[in-house]
Structure 1
Amino acid sequence: MSDLLAALLLGIIEGLTEFLPVSSTGHLLIAQHWLGARSDFFNIVIQAGAILAITLVFRQRLWALGTGLHEPANRDYAMKIVAAFLVTALVGLPVRLAGWELPDAVTPIAWALILGGIWMLLAEHFAERRGGDGVNVTWTIAIAVGLAQVLAGVFPGTSRSATTIFIAMLLGLSRRSAAAEFAFLVGIPTMFAASGYAFLELWLDDGLSGEAWDDVAVAFVAATITGFLVVKWLLGYIKQHRFTGFAIYRIALGALILLFMPGS
């Protein structure tokens, strides 16, 4: 397989899995096991494509929030997005500097997939038992989502989207579409900041040389287009369906990894 085709496939995998609650880290690690490992810069760029995709999906919502800050409801929602981001930044940066992160290895990610799938099943069950309209984001939810993003960063394979969506649902944002929207909107500044910080680290360490720029460009475009289509589909899907299918998929994938790729 050519390097360009491998880059295209990796970009598509990133776009498919970044915002689905299935762990993009786990899928990319497995894919790169077969398609060849890529540089940190390559991984940053394809994640940037996914960030661009979700920004495009929510462009109207973001514009409405930005231009409607004079309205109390918009101002309150925007402040909670900022609060969640600041919690992630203030807690996550010291955690990153301290090096508190599990390695991107196959076995721990497989277990994270399995345990995360079980967590999703339980969280959705208990969230639905709470009842209520489940559409109002509280300050507790905002802070918890910020902390959940840190947790997802420390434990690769847990999935940022799964961790944030289900913590929001457990704390009262039981309507799936409302929980997903808030989690995704918080993810935009968080992922931009994380990618920018990682890029700055690479640049200062002179880690940008020797890149195959055509591969990077193809993967970026693929991640952007695929991510856009996936998020649009997911937002429609969860209005009528539970997350059960994603949870079962995670558990099955984790089990297959442990069975066929032990010690990788």
Structure 2
Amino acid sequence: MTDLLAALLLGIIEGITEFLPISSTGHLLIAEQWLGHRSDLFNIAIQAGAILAIALIYRQRLWDLAMGFLGRGAPAAHDPAGIAMDPARARDYALKLGVAFGVTCVLGLLVKKLGFELPDRVEPIAWALILGGVWMVVAEHFAAKRAQALGERSAISWTVAILVGVAQVVAGVFPGTSRSAATIFVALLFGTTSRVAATEFAFLVGIPTMFAATAYELVDVVRSGEAANEDWTALAVAFVASAITAFIAVKWLLRYIQSHRFTAFAVYRVALGAALLLLVPAAAATAG
């Protein structure tokens, strides 16, 4: 397999899996077993492509929230239910996004200072996929029961905002968990009963979080001089592939969850995790 084709495939994998609740880090670590390990700069680039896609999708929403927060112009922002948000509600929503982001920054820096490194073995990723799939089913089940009792609730509470910030760090520490899955289902389990509202909040808070993480990692790469040895053609191919596929994947997901549960993703996670636990020991035994 040529290096450009491998870069293209890794970019596509990142774009598809970054915002679907199936773990991009887990899929990339697994894919690199066959497609070859990539530099930190390469991984930063494909993540940046996915961030660009989500920022483009939510560009109007972000602008509306910013204008509502500043109290400028007509209240153009709408919540996930399509209800117009006055400046006070827009400001409240933006502050909750800020709190979730702040919690992630503080805890993320603490984890970084402690010297935590991502595991590169398949087994913990497989277990994270399986346990995350079970968590998704349980969370959505209880959210549905609450929706029947209380009606659909799209509001995001301060508790949810804080827990979403924590969930982002947990997902970063345990590959296979999935940042989007952790944040969406924390919101469903502890606050909103609306899949659309939980997903939107998770995606919106992911924009500054991923931009900040990417910038932080990029500074380290530049300081180390690693960028001087990068294959820029392969990096560009992967970046574009990630951006395009992430845009398509998120657009599809936002339509899908309006009328479907996340059950299919949970089943996929459990099946993939189980397959990995069965295949990896078999492959190791064959190699031995």
Q: Same fold (TM over 0.5)?
A: yes
Q: Summarize the alignment of residues 100-179 of structure 1 with structure 2, pairs less than 5 Å apart.
A: 100-131=116-147, 132-179=151-198
Whether 1:203 aligns to 2:233 is no
Distance 2:184 2:112 in 1: 22
Residue from 221, 229, 250 that aligns with 1:231: 250
- Offset, 1:209: 2.1
Q: How does 1:36-51 map to 2 (within 5 A)?
A: 36-51=36-51
Percent identity over the alignment? 64
Instruction: Please tell me whether the aligned partners of residues 120 and 247 of structure 1 are also in contact (alpha carbons under 8 angstroms).
Output: yes
Q: Which amino acid aligns with 1:92?
A: G
Measured after TM superposition, the shift of residue 101 of structure 1 is: 4.6
- How many angstroms apart in 2 are the aligned matches of 1:123 and 1:207? 42
Asked if structure 2 preserves the Cα contact closer than 8 Å seen for 1:130 and 1:172, the reply is: no
Across the aligned residues of Structure 1 and Structure 2, the Cα RMSD in angstroms comes to: 1.2
Amino acid at match of 1:244: T
Deviations 1:196-252 (A, max 9, x none): 111111122222121110000000000000000100100010010000000000000
**2:104 matches 1:88:** yes
Q: Does 1:21 align with 2:37?
A: no
Q: Name the amino acid aligned to 1:55.
A: A
Name the counterpart of 1:32: 32
The TM-score normalised by the length of structure 1 is 0.97
Find the residue that maps to 2:261 and give its secondary structure: coil
Give the ranges of 4+ consecutive aligned residues of structure 1 lying more than 4 Å apart after TM superposition: none
The runs of 5 or more residues in structure 2 that have no matched partner are 72-86
Shift of 1:68: 1.9
Quick one: which of 261, 266, 269 aligns to 1:247? 266
The 2-side partners of 1:221 and 1:9 are apart by 11
Structure 1 residues 180 and 261: CA distance shift in structure 2, 3 A: same
Output the amino acid matched with 1:242: R
Which of residues 89, 93, 104 is equivalent to 1:77?
93
Unaligned runs of 5+ in 1: none
Q: Distance in 1 between matches of 2:212 and 2:121?
A: 24
- The answer to whether residue 2 in structure 2 is matched with residue 2 in structure 1 is yes
Specify the code of the residue in structure 1 equivalent to 2:119: P
**Would you say the 8 A contact 1:84–1:186 is kept in 2?**
yes
Q: Equivalents in 2 of 1:91, 1:27: separation in Å? A: 24
Q: Compute the TM-score of the two structures, normalised by the length of structure 2.
A: 0.89
Q: Cα distance, 1:34 vs. partner?
A: 1.1
C-alpha displacement of 1:59: 0.7
Which residue number in structure 2 is paired with residue 55 of structure 1? 55
State the distance in 2 between where 1:155 and 1:100 align.
Answer: 10
Larger CA Rg, structure 1 vs 2: 2
C-alpha distance after superposition, 1:38-93 (max 9, x if no partner)? 11110111000000010001011011111222111111111110110001101111
2:84 corresponds to: none
